[in-house]
Amino acid sequence: MGKRRVLAIREDDRFSEMLRENGYEVVNIPAIRTEPLADLSELDRALANVETYDGLFFTSWAAAEIFAERSPRNDLKAKIYVLGSRSADVLTAAGYMVTTDPQANNADELLDSFGTGEFEGKRLLFIRGERSMRTIPERLGGIATVDEVVVYRTVENNIRANAIPDHIDWICFFSPSGIESFADQVGFDRLNGAKVAAIGTTTAAKAREAGLNVDLVSPASNAEGFAKAIIGSDKEIE
């Protein structure tokens, strides 16, 4: 079997690097990017009163990065709950102690790993993007006070249709927003029978909603786990 070609709807990172190390050709087309809001005064007000919170929630690395750059201190008493290794790495590198579950692939699983008793009666701050899933406030709103601060927006990159290779073995999606942008700008008729892979259950659900047959859902919502899943799937059919 010849070299497999993977279209990654994401910037070039460890995912693509691992695949190339294993003999794949990888084409990276980031369909979206994140931008901090021009006005972060709401975050600044929350940080000025951060001692009033029992816990902070981060479900995206972009929010974690903006918080780490904006926060004047890293000796917080509030517990910092984090989804995803990339977000955890950003905050740990900034000197924060984080609480996470490496096995959690979405916010529901993160909350389940602690149980509702962990949050009952507490005041929590959810720092997020404008299009982030609202699982945290929706599930905890009845038992805790959850304040939300939006710190970034998701922006579509301009995808040139002629940048899509004629032959693709796998197309890999990393977020629901990436699926929406690809569908709007390019469409799925260019896939020509390529297998579809999603980094987690939330992204997979969005792909199915868009009419795609999802061939693989990564058991781990991180770049390395996703790459290993692609490699393992191909080895099974060799």
Domains 5-31+159-237 and 35-154 share a fold: yes
- Is pLDDT above 80 for 20? yes
What's the CATH number for 35-154?
Answer: 3.40.50.10090
- pLDDT grade for 183, boundaries at 50, 70 and 90: very high
> Distance (Å, rounded) from C-alpha 215 to C-alpha 212?
9
Mean pLDDT, all residues of the chain: 92
> Distance (Å, rounded) from C-alpha 3 to C-alpha 1?
7
> Distance (Å, rounded) from C-alpha 198 to C-alpha 177?
12
Q: Domain boundaries in the chain?
A: 5-31+159-237, 35-154
- pLDDT grade for 237, boundaries at 50, 70 and 90: low
User: Which run of H or of E encompasses 112?
Assistant: helix 107-114
> Distance (Å, rounded) from C-alpha 230 to C-alpha 203?
16
Q: What's the confidence (pLDDT) of residue 15?
A: 94
pLDDT digits over 69-104, tens only?
999 777 888 999 999 888 999 999 999 999 999 888
Q: What's the confidence (pLDDT) of residue 160?
A: 73
Q: What's the confidence (pLDDT) of residue 2?
A: 66
Average pLDDT over residues 107-120: 95
* Three-class DSSP category at 26: strand
Tokens of 150: 């939006």
- pLDDT grade for 47, boundaries at 50, 70 and 90: very high
236's CB contacts (< 8 A; 6+ apart) are none
Tokens of 97: 């102690």
Tokens of 7: 């279209």
Q: What's the confidence (pLDDT) of residue 193?
A: 85
CATH architecture under which domain 5-31+159-237 falls: 3-Layer(aba) Sandwich (3.40)
Do residues 222 and 90 make contact, with C-beta atoms less than 8 angstroms apart? no
- pLDDT grade for 201, boundaries at 50, 70 and 90: confident
